[in-house]
Amino acid sequence: MTDSQTLVLASGSPRRLALLEQIGIVPDHLAPADVDETQGDGEAPGALAQRLARMKAEEAYDRARTDKEVGPAYILAADTVVAVGRRVLPKAETLAEAESCLDTLSGRGHRVYTGIGLITPKGKLRLKTIETRVRFKRLSRQEIQAYLASGEWRGKAGGYAIQGIAATFVTKLVGSYSNVVGLPLHETSAMLSGEGYRVLDGWVAGSRTVEAPGEIAPEPETA
């Protein structure tokens, strides 16, 4: 165990930040990690999510160790993958990608995997992958075009955000809802608590002030 209660979130996702704040956890620093998210040959979607979470956690850990303002800290990272069978859908950045995702998901089931990586102040690494099964209704062309026009899909795994308009597409969900949003709260809280992070401290009214966490600068590139 350690006395350090500094928490670094290895993500720039406002959704993950909001989910943590929902359960009283306010990261002290943000360290968005830039890693290659390409699926390996034969790599299962759940394995991909866990590998990316590990890579993000390790990158943030290395940066935090060289930042004198951070000191010993818990490093929390996550990556969410949407898959149909073994096919991983992209984090849609273009209309064409988003439309392709919606066409694929329409009227069928898919799985959402979130890999969680936690590194303790003493350098211990813990990994976990959570799976949620989701089914969409059959989407009309009008619904798909209207959703594309909303822009809500941009940057989202699978081209949709369940916490928004796309909630109307879901006919069945088995597992963690927050996992589909981007961070399974039960499992994340349990991992942090199990490694000595005082999750319950944030539940006391007025115990923690919600302030914008500082961002840890990336390490300078060497020639």
212: helix, strand or coil: coil
The answer, yes or no, to whether residue 219 has pLDDT greater than 70, is no
* Token pair recorded at residue 169: 């597409």
Residue pLDDT, tens place only, 182-214: 999 999 999 999 999 999 988 886 555 545 566
User: Which residues are registered as beta bridge partners of 29?
Assistant: 8, 214
Can you give the residue range of the structural domain that contains 210?
7-215
Q: Is residue 176 part of a domain?
A: yes
Q: Beta partners for 113? A: 81, 131
User: Is there a domain that residue 2 lies in?
Assistant: no
Instruction: Count other Cβ atoms within 10 Å, centred on residue 32.
Output: 16
Question: Which pLDDT score is estimated for 214?
Answer: 61
pTM for the structure as a whole: 0.89
Give the span between the Cα atoms of 64 and 125, in whole angstroms.
15
Contact 144, 106 (CB under 8 A): yes
Q: What is the pLDDT of residues 117-174, one digit of tens each?
A: 999 999 999 999 999 999 999 999 999 999 999 999 999 999 999 999 999 999 999 9
Q: Six-digit token pair at 74?
A: 């818990």
Instruction: Say what the pLDDT of residue 171 is.
Output: 98
3 is catalytic: no
pLDDT digits 0-9 by tens, 51-85: 999 999 999 999 888 887 888 899 999 999 999 99
- State the DSSP code for 202: G
How many structural domains is the chain composed of?
1
Query: Considering 34, 79, 103, 201, which one is annotated as catalytic?
Result: 79
Question: What CATH number has the domain bearing residue 29?
Answer: 3.90.950.10
**How crowded is the C-beta side of 30, counted as CA atoms within 13 Å?**
16
Per residue in 92-119, pLDDT (tens digit) is 999 999 999 999 999 999 999 999 999 9
Domain for residue 1, yes or no? Answer: no
pLDDT interval class at 13 (50, 70, 90): confident
What beta strand segments (E) does 29-108 contain?
29-30, 74-84, 87-88
Largest CA distance in the chain: 55
Domain contains 223: no
* Residue 221, domain member (yes or no): no
